Structure 1
């Protein structure tokens, strides 16, 4: 009886999907995108109004000697006696080289801040669009997807902001090819580095989520992930090199959590495969 009801629900769901034309799906997607971009715009306005917090308390902090990460590396240098571990010991000076430079920087930074702050709602809208295409049992097994995606994204953002950004600022800001060349860092270049690293870290930390959905559709399985583990590590190392400055220490610091997330992905893929097999056996 239960099997008949499940089959009936699946047929009804498929019939509803068939009834919706391609243009209908585009219309639904359009409204999801409008609401998502609307939330980004709203948070961008809030960020624009609160520029003192966004710039002085958040964006500019990683380059200051008293930033939490810089102080921790200083304490580590004192403990180990390795003075080269100290980072950002002197404040990096920034310049603006165009008349509208600071105003345009204010606008673009507000948009980026709006994207980060609106991420939970954007994820929610994405989930609302995908959810109708799932079967009832798939919806139940995906409970908490929005929560986990949000947590992973902000974990990646915080990881990038508190660890990778200070290391990047120290390396790129102090690197010199000659004593005859002085570093005069443009504000746009600095903010571009900070924002790209934090956003990229937030996205790559979604690796377990991608593994889950790819395992659900049968593209990935734990055996495949184990077989190509070494190849995947190389890909993760290359990915770390892309989102970090060209120094080995920063690349390793990014690669380690990605390797950890990959191993978690194997466990997730194994659980997905196990549940799929149990569902087949129950039929």
Structure 2
């Protein structure tokens, strides 16, 4: 069973980097990062609820359900450099599986592993009515979540634990092209996962793209002041995970490549964003009998101060 511990720590973490270097909020991707700057001295708060459902077609008929909340705070140290921290809380991580004893349900809850990271605007080019930016992101995840929880059947499987017990590092390069009508974002990210008690989750590489298109108001002509906006989103996530390491070998039923598409909507006011997306698998090439995603729902808000 693939690990769900970082369900929040990559998409929600870097997805928190959304605010332009002005007092008004801008549109941004919901499942990953943007290269738009954070103003010096500005604080960003984000909450995102995630519901993830997974299953397989093997004889054990495994079904995994995760309900989690990611809480993010960010601060603009300078006009180019910002730092962020994210704390995930799992309301429930549940596994239903068929065993010789019949159908068994195992679950846990609690705080997960905390992540800290920074982002620096490396390149920017402003045009009349548009801007283009490139920014690298570097961060780490600390083993703060419980990684040895147990139930009446014994210690829970590693993927079901709230934390993974290891130090992980990640880096990404993100780009943003923004106009008055639409915005296009892209991200290339690599995550190297550490080892704990002879186990290491497979390293992850992902490529993400997003289009946000303003659908209301359709035209800015005659619109007074700074109005609210509604954006339609379409995001694409291609994710490759290596097999998990187990002792001196690997887990043949882990890792693989998947492609997700995420339609969604954003309501953008001067200081708030309310948003939601549904990530749906378009193609999945899993190794062995690795469990696969059915869908992922993300609903939340963002606020700048």
TM category (shorter chain) comes to under 0.3
* TM-score, with structure 2 as normaliser: 0.23
Larger CA Rg, structure 1 vs 2: 1
* TM-score, with structure 1 as normaliser: 0.24
**More strand, by proportion:** 2
**More helix, by proportion:** 1
